[in-house]
Structure 1
Amino acid sequence: MTQDDLRVASHGTPAFKSPLAVRRFAPDDAAVLVNIDCVGGQTPPPLTFEKAGPREQIYFDPAKSRAAIITCGGLCPGLNNVIRHLYYTLRDGYGVPTIYGVRHGYLGLAPNAPLEPMELTSSWVESIHHQGGTMLGTSRGRQEPEVMVDKLIEMGVNLLFPIGGDGTQKGAHAIAVEAQRRQLDLAVVGIPKTIDNDIRFCFQTFGFISAVAEAERVIDRAHVEAKSVPRGVGLVKLMGREAGFIAAAATVASGEVNFCLVPEEPLVLDGPSGFLARLERRLNARDHAVVVVAEGAGQDLIANRDPLAVDASGNRRLGDIGLLLKERIPDHFEAIGNPIGMKYFDPSYYIRSAPANSADSLLTERFARQAVHAAMAGKTDLFVGFWNGRIVHVPLPVSVGKLRRMTPDSELWAAVQAITGQNHW
């Protein structure tokens, strides 16, 4: 990756003075380092992201602008917060007169859309941040970028804010490329959303902390269940298709987990060093155990799973590792004549449909406000990411299709190993 890869696309020279009443604007040459660690005194040429922030000169005339907000993919705490903050920053900050909410994701920009886009109002967005999910609705699946751009032209939209994960941002990039091919002044600025926290160049996505907090409560209940019966096991399956961030973070937050199984680490069930043998040693020593497994762990153990099958969003179809462990763990202990009492928890949809907590509410405001600043300045084909403590402009081509994963030598995984002691067992 070079500095050219990190250059943000722009529609041209800003010609309008910003209407924002702020004390300090962000210059276009403000930057944030991609890598802040130095190893062995090496000083390679630094790579930098363009720093987000309000620009003194903007590209679009607010009075002649129209914006559209769209939410795609799975639910996540904080979606309604982002919608609300986008609306108020556009309307009250810049004076954009018309702001649409696209219904049911990218499907809402297709000819067969179940509902037409709606014009948002202050009374409609006023209290939506207290509710989980998305008031605009969502969907999965690809729509043709040519068709979506046609719809945006019909609506007169020149500012588009897609809120979603990697698949959503792929769609946003396709829209931006199609708009550029037609030489349209359409700013496409994405806001990254996933409780899996696996978007490249976004250290923390909104909704992640809320999901961890909800998962911690479930883990604590599983711990109570496990300690209440002889040889009790509490098994909790959490989300995390390709990355185990939520399982690992909830494990550390709870402090009651004895085994954390994630996609980044191979899962071996059988043999003297396998998971079942280690669980047996744990139960013999302490009489109870709590196991947390991310949904993407151990996929090679699931029979009859087509490794090439994908869902409507292009994600690989997963087998249910939770149900496999729910069967294999009791069967193992029945076979050795040492039965257990196991309780299984799968709180996935409960967790992702919760409203945002205070930490995520703060992050949604930052993302939304900076996304509007970027779009009004004429920047496009990017999302606003949280990197090294700053909000930055991340060009979509350097991120989409390249998911972020937890590394075995990371501080988070070291904390998991220290708290669980799972290697010791």
Structure 2
Amino acid sequence: VYGIRGGYKGFYDTDLPPVVLTPEAVDEIHHQGGTFLGSSRGGFDLEKTLAFLRAKKIKQLFVIGGDGTHRGAFAIHEGCMAAGMNVSVAGIPKTIDNDVDYIDRSFGFSSAVEAAQAAIRSAKTEAICNLPNGVGIVKLMGRSAGFIAVHATMASGDVDLCLVPEVPTVLDGPQGCLPYLKRRVAQQGYAVVVVAEGAGEDVLGTSAETDASGNKKLPKIGEFMKSKVEAYFKARGDTATVKYIDPSYMVRSIPANAADSLYCMQLAQNAVHGSMAGYTGFSVGLCNNRMVLLPIPELVSTSPRSMNPRGRTWERVLAVTRQPNTVPPKKPGDKTYDSHAPM
């Protein structure tokens, strides 16, 4: 069993030789955070990957990643079929943002939401203890989907304002988040804010720059909100003591909790079961609490998914935070949210 290091480039990069995975080598890795094999963006090369599979006489390939990685996995599957290679290609969805469609959740999501609680509690403590008018801001991961932010908000019960990519960020006016925060601080002496990293494009704009995987580089919404809160209070003859916490990589790098450890075991067993049964070009996941095999083209066709801003999840967030709802009335031609997962 070979472990490919550093993502797709590990198939051909001489600086990243494969690791031979033995029971002894992987005996303790489920207690560790991060990734045993390492990860990287980009580097996909179909011909070099097929050459590796031929040279090593690989019969089963398991690819762990998000929708982009799954598109690469399906390209490998099609390449193997076209070349007459008897290789089963199976995908295992991995995304901290929980934005792969159809599946109930991606592994690591529960652990991330749990880890985010500590950051939110710290932000609340800092906001309460730092006078006058303490405001704690926590930035969490979520490029185009705010699932971590909204679930962490609901789980904590301590958040006064939650900003996510799916819901417009309004700063001023009757529905503005800044006047609302001023009122909350006046009422209770402090406020706690959670922002997803992809929130606020409507006030910050978008960048033309992209990373190695083609993902757009995000503006710094956390620092932006910190400066805006401070400026808003100052403009009204008051002072806000704002503490900004960015636990993004602490949340991502923790060991899996019990729920995710069990889920990973089930995903791995199901992927091997599908390959041993002769299937290829599929992925695995929990759908409506049942472990299933999913055709990769179907899985990626609606991924990445996002939260329905007019659905029950966002209504629950509003019930927790009591913030103004800035979701505009639905218009003909607006995006239809048809995510197949109960989010």
TM-score, with length taken from structure 2 = 0.91
Please show how residues 383-394 of structure 1 align to structure 2 within 5 Å: 383-394=283-294
Deviations 1:284-308 (A, max 9, x none): 22221100000010123225x43x4
Matched, 1:396 2:296: yes
Higher gyration radius (CA): 1
Please show how residues 209-358 of structure 1 align to structure 2 within 5 Å: 209-228=110-129, 229-302=131-204, 305-306=206-207, 308-358=208-258
Indicate the SS of the match to 1:234: strand
Indicate the SS of the match to 2:215: coil
Q: CA separation in 2, counterparts of 1:295 and 1:267?
A: 13
Matched, 1:415 2:316: yes
Q: CA separation in 2, counterparts of 1:185 and 1:413?
A: 46
Deviations 1:210-267 (A, max 9, x none): 0000001110111111111331100000000011110000001100001111111010
| Post-superposition offset of 1:335 | 1.4
Matched, 1:149 2:50: yes
Given candidates 103, 125, 150, the residue that maps to 1:202 is 103
Mark the runs of 5 or more structure 2 residues left unpaired by the alignment: 327-343
Partner residue of 2:35? Answer: 134
Q: CA separation in 2, counterparts of 1:292 and 1:383?
A: 33
Matched, 1:178 2:79: yes
Please show how residues 7-156 of structure 1 align to structure 2 within 5 Å: 99-110=1-12, 112-156=13-57
Partner residue of 2:339? Answer: none
Deviations 1:334-386 (A, max 9, x none): 11111111110000001100000001001001100000000111111111021
| Post-superposition offset of 1:188 | 0.8
Give the letter aligned to residue 288 of structure 1: Y
Range with bigger deviation, 135-144 or 358-367: 135-144
Structure 2 contact 132–241 (Cα < 8 Å) conserved: yes
Q: CA separation in 2, counterparts of 1:113 and 1:257?
A: 48
Range with bigger deviation, 348-357 or 138-147: 138-147
Q: CA separation in 1, counterparts of 2:174 and 2:259?
A: 43
Indicate the SS of the match to 2:24: helix
Structure 1 contact 142–171 (Cα < 8 Å) conserved: no
Q: CA separation in 2, counterparts of 1:345 and 1:108?
A: 34
Give the letter aligned to residue 28 of structure 2: S
Give the count of matched residue pairs: 324
Given candidates 358, 365, 374, the residue that maps to 2:265 is 365
Structure 1 contact 107–113 (Cα < 8 Å) conserved: no
Identity of aligned residues (%): 48
Give the letter aligned to residue 269 of structure 1: L
Residues 171 and 236 from structure 1, CA distance in 2 versus in 1: closer, same or farther, beyond 3 angstroms? same
Q: CA separation in 1, counterparts of 2:38 and 2:309?
A: 37
| Post-superposition offset of 1:127 | 0.8
| Post-superposition offset of 1:424 | 8.1
| Post-superposition offset of 1:118 | 1.9
CA-based RMSD of the aligned residues comes to: 1.5
| Post-superposition offset of 1:320 | 1.2
Q: CA separation in 2, counterparts of 1:316 and 1:388?
A: 32
Structure 2 contact 176–324 (Cα < 8 Å) conserved: no
Give the letter aligned to residue 77 of structure 2: A
Deviations 1:132-161 (A, max 9, x none): 111111111141212211111111111011
Q: CA separation in 1, counterparts of 2:261 and 2:70?
A: 22
Indicate the SS of the match to 2:184: helix
Please show how residues 154-165 of structure 1 align to structure 2 within 5 Å: 154-165=55-66
| Post-superposition offset of 1:271 | 2.5
Give the letter aligned to residue 324 of structure 1: F
Q: CA separation in 1, counterparts of 2:252 and 2:317?
A: 22
Structure 1 contact 237–295 (Cα < 8 Å) conserved: yes
Q: CA separation in 1, counterparts of 2:201 and 2:249?
A: 20
Give the letter aligned to residue 90 of structure 2: V
Please show how residues 370-381 of structure 1 align to structure 2 within 5 Å: 370-381=270-281
Partner residue of 2:335? Answer: none
Q: CA separation in 2, counterparts of 1:399 and 1:356?
A: 24
Mark the runs of 5 or more structure 1 residues left unpaired by the alignment: 1-98
Indicate the SS of the match to 2:25: helix
Q: CA separation in 2, counterparts of 1:403 and 1:317?
A: 16
Give the letter aligned to residue 193 of structure 2: V
Residues 424 and 379 from structure 1, CA distance in 2 versus in 1: closer, same or farther, beyond 3 angstroms? closer
